[in-house]
Amino acid sequence: MWKLSNFINYFFTGVGFGAATYLLILTFAFPGEPATPLGVISVFIISGLIGILSMIFAADVSPAIAFSVHIIGTFLLVLLMYWINKWSVTFWWILGEFLLVYIVIWLIVILSQVHTVNKINSKIKKRNSKR
């Protein structure tokens, strides 16, 4: 059973990734374009929902199903964000940007997990060597 704290953690992790991505895209893809209140609020809410959607990877479903649900759900939420903000770019721009950002965020998550596992393994080795 999911705890409220899990939802909150996943939500705010999503907000963090979304906010950083939004700022990077504004800075490098649309320099000089100001952030709007609607843009910021929609990025926070939709990024948080994408974070909650990521809980599917902790569910008891096959990795292929989890990945399929996550990528499709994330893309639909991103399309919703573009529609809410009336950001006028082509579908191909959205798709290309989405795929690039999706891959980069996955790489960051994987590298973070590898780092965490390495730290845990190092502590286990230290503890076992003291015996």
Distance from C-alpha of 50 to C-alpha of 33, rounded to nearest angstrom:
24
Structure confidence at residue 4 (pLDDT)? 84
Question: Can you list the pairs that 104-112 forms with residues at least 24 positions away whose Cβ atoms lie under 8 Å?
Answer: 105/17, 105/21, 108/17
- Give the model confidence (pLDDT) of 14-56 as tens digits: 999 999 999 998 898 888 888 899 999 999 999 999 999 999 9
Query: End-to-end distance of the chain based on CA atoms, in angstroms?
Result: 38
Q: Which of 9-13, 30-34, 80-84, 116-120 has the lowest mean pLDDT?
A: 30-34
**Alpha carbons 79 and 87: distance in angstroms, whole number:** 10
| Segment 1-9 long-range contacts (CB within 8 Å, at least 24 positions apart) | 2/55, 6/55, 7/52, 7/55
